[in-house]
Structure 1
Amino acid sequence: MKKKSVTMSDIAKAMDISTVTVSKALGDKDGVSEELREKIKQKANEMGYRFSYTSKSSKEGFTFNISIVVAKHFINDASAFYWVMYRHIVELLQKQNYYGILDVISESDQANRSMPNSVSDKKVDGVIVLGQFDDEYVSELLDLDIPVVFLDFYSSDNRTDTILSDSFFGSYMLTNYLINAGHRNIGFLGTITSTSSIQDRYLGYYKALLEKGIPLRSEWVIDDRGPEGTSYPHFDLPAQKPTAFVCNCDEEAYCLLNQLRSEGYVVPDDISIVGYDNHIYSTISNPRITTIDVDSKRMSYEAVETIIKKIRDKNYSRGRTLVTGKLIIRDSVKILK
């Protein structure tokens, strides 16, 4: 037997309000407070109500599509962190009755300033940019006069609304954890010119060293990727190694751990390692890696809320939003004192 569709009248009866009020709320019309509007939309989602998008979009001039733009090299690996973020975004958009369209940008697309077809053909109402792009590409995108939110990176363009993990403070916490464990010879793994998040993690690491009067040794700041963003298969480690490494992400921490093991070192007995993201690599490694848990769900939620508000109000601007993570202590750090 076919399940009966939920109507506005059903929602009205469930909430003991008029059908007109429900209609105004779901149609984003005047005459309903913002608080009640959100309650009605939440109840509609709970009851399984579905909009008629064809009629709604034609009347209001919206497509109810959002482009999720990401550089190809960030998602080459099926287990990449940005795939996790993408899934969160799509699920959250669905709850708001929007569809997420994945637009993957190649190196040549970025170099040639080629915009996604969904954007240039006006098939979307807004754009969520996931991960780093160069300033020229960002400027070209912002010049299209379409609502844009940047997720997990920021640029020098002051027109951007950005949702970020607090990479600076997270790396600062990790480095202080190592220092409090007795480590004074601490390296950093990450190409600091590659992305804004890696650079912030390096600066958090450096601040922790400065506060404790520990000198920064440039030979212990190790690149982990090339100019195109592709990770190195093998890191160029110095002969004299530190007692600990702060790694810019869990995947690179996992790779470093395996390289050290192949060279005869034991983690954490010989060298301690900390990562970042609390991604799958931190738990499949042996030992499991101490890391920062990035609240990817919260970041995705803030990005979706922001882009929808920007679509509804062309003058809305949020600026830069930081989402704080938390330290996850596991087995990859040796206590020296």
Structure 2
Amino acid sequence: MAKTVKMADIAKEVGVSVVTVSKALTGQKGVSEAMRSRIIKLADEMGYVQPAAASKSEDKGRNIGIIIHDKHFTKYNSFYMQMYQLLSSELGSQGDFAMLEIITHDMEKDLIAPKVIKENKVQALILQGEFSKEYCDFIKEIMGDLPVLYLDFADESGRDVSVISDSFYGSYYMTNYLFEHGHRDIAFVGSPLITTSITDRYLGYVKSMMEHGVQVRPDWQIEDRNKTTGIIFEPDKLPLPLELPTAFVCNCDLTAGVLIRRLEKEGYSIPEDFSVVGYDNYIYPGACDVEITTYEVDMPVMVQNAVGYLNALLKGESVKTGMHIVTGHLVEKSSVKALG
């Protein structure tokens, strides 16, 4: 059987990211016409088949609800909007309709159902980004037998389908990277237990520290967001310890950018004075003046997998419940300085 050509194969041949290939093949902005033509031509030559073209389902034109918490739409945080755009494009390419609804903090706290569910407008629902366990249980109850899928966070019960990135090992690799560059005084910037992904990234950091025989210092676990709202602090609100480490592992690039701006306000330079690594490989243009070394989330593959599992659920097919983990990779930029 011939090997199925994936976007990653095309990206490797061209020497660009999977996100660039996805944008080129789905007609999105952010790719030059010359690069778009090159990618489309190579995709044809390699025999790449878009998921929509490969699908034989006649059940098209379905309404797929997508709910996202409004805490993910703060000033510089558009990671989830990019993910939603990919998701909407993937669903649209197979003839389905994405119906987005933003869930407020009060809606989540008071267990208020999204309008797309109350008005019976959707055949399935994707929860994109973290929600409380109580709200997830509430959503599943009112959805009844209709499919529910979690994207970029995990269903705690393991009874539903979740598509997540490799947060634990991604953060573990990033911390190891700092050790490889001579650092031993390393802090973690993030609020564990606020989301499962931040908790996993903190535990990946702890694993690396333990394996290198370095004690994890409580004052070097730096909170990066409001514990009630989940909104990331502005630079002047981000707490810094009295004694600073030489390097910081941040739970996401947005937090890394906030940290860098805070340190710069204190008169420091990155990476001359401190090294910083992040997670996601996505930050709003202009949010930070330093290119952040990071762990790139394979967003297109996460979206493709989520849509594939959702299609199977809608057809009544069996899908393995629990977490479906999509690995990423380290991207070296200019925020880390080797010591000694």
**Range into which the TM-score falls when normalised by the shorter chain:** 0.7 to 0.9
Q: Per-residue deviation at 1:66?
A: 0.2
- 1:132-281 equivalent positions in 2, closer than 5 A: 132-143=130-141, 144-145=143-144, 146-227=146-227, 228-233=229-234, 234-281=237-284
1:335 equivalent in structure 2 = 338
Are residues 1:300 and 2:303 paired?
yes
For residues 213-271 of structure 1, the C-alpha deviation after alignment (integer angstroms, 9 at most, x for no partner) is: 01100101000101211111221101210000001111111111111011011211111
Contact 1:251 1:282 in 2 (8 A): no
Contact 2:158 2:323 in 1 (8 A): no
Q: Per-residue deviation at 1:78?
A: 6.5
Counterpart-to-counterpart distance in 2, 1:226 and 1:43: 44
- State the one-letter code of the partner of 1:71: H
Q: Per-residue deviation at 1:39?
A: 9.4
1:311 equivalent in structure 2 = 314
Question: Identity of paired residues, percent?
Answer: 36
Q: Per-residue deviation at 1:160?
A: 1.7
For residues 124-156 of structure 1, the C-alpha deviation after alignment (integer angstroms, 9 at most, x for no partner) is: 110111011111111111122220110011132
1:118 equivalent among 104, 116, 119: 116
TM-score, normalization by structure 1:
0.80
- State the one-letter code of the partner of 1:125: Q
Q: Per-residue deviation at 1:318?
A: 4.0
Q: Per-residue deviation at 1:157?
A: 2.0
SS where residue 179 of structure 1 aligns?
Answer: helix
SS where residue 276 of structure 2 aligns?
Answer: strand
Structure 1 portions without partners, runs of 5+: 1-37, 46-50
- 1:43-82 equivalent positions in 2, closer than 5 A: 64-77=62-75, 79-82=77-80
1:13 equivalent in structure 2 = none
1:23 equivalent in structure 2 = none
SS where residue 261 of structure 2 aligns?
Answer: helix
TM-score, normalization by structure 2:
0.79
1:86 equivalent among 61, 84, 87: 84
Counterpart-to-counterpart distance in 1, 2:197 and 2:312: 25
2:33 equivalent in structure 1 = none
Q: Per-residue deviation at 1:175?
A: 0.2
Contact 2:64 2:98 in 1 (8 A): yes
- State the one-letter code of the partner of 1:147: P
Q: Give the greater-gyration-radius structure (CA).
A: 1
After superposing on structure 2, the runs of 4+ consecutive aligned residues of structure 1 that deviate more than 2 Å are: 38-41, 76-79, 280-287, 314-319
Counterpart-to-counterpart distance in 1, 2:250 and 2:223: 10
Q: CA separation of 1:101/1:186 partners in 2, compared to 1, >3 Å: closer, same or farther? A: same
Counterpart-to-counterpart distance in 1, 2:194 and 2:323: 20
Q: Per-residue deviation at 1:329?
A: 0.6
- State the one-letter code of the partner of 1:326: H
Q: CA separation of 1:321/1:328 partners in 2, compared to 1, >3 Å: closer, same or farther? A: same
Are residues 1:42 and 2:83 paired?
no
SS where residue 67 of structure 1 aligns?
Answer: strand
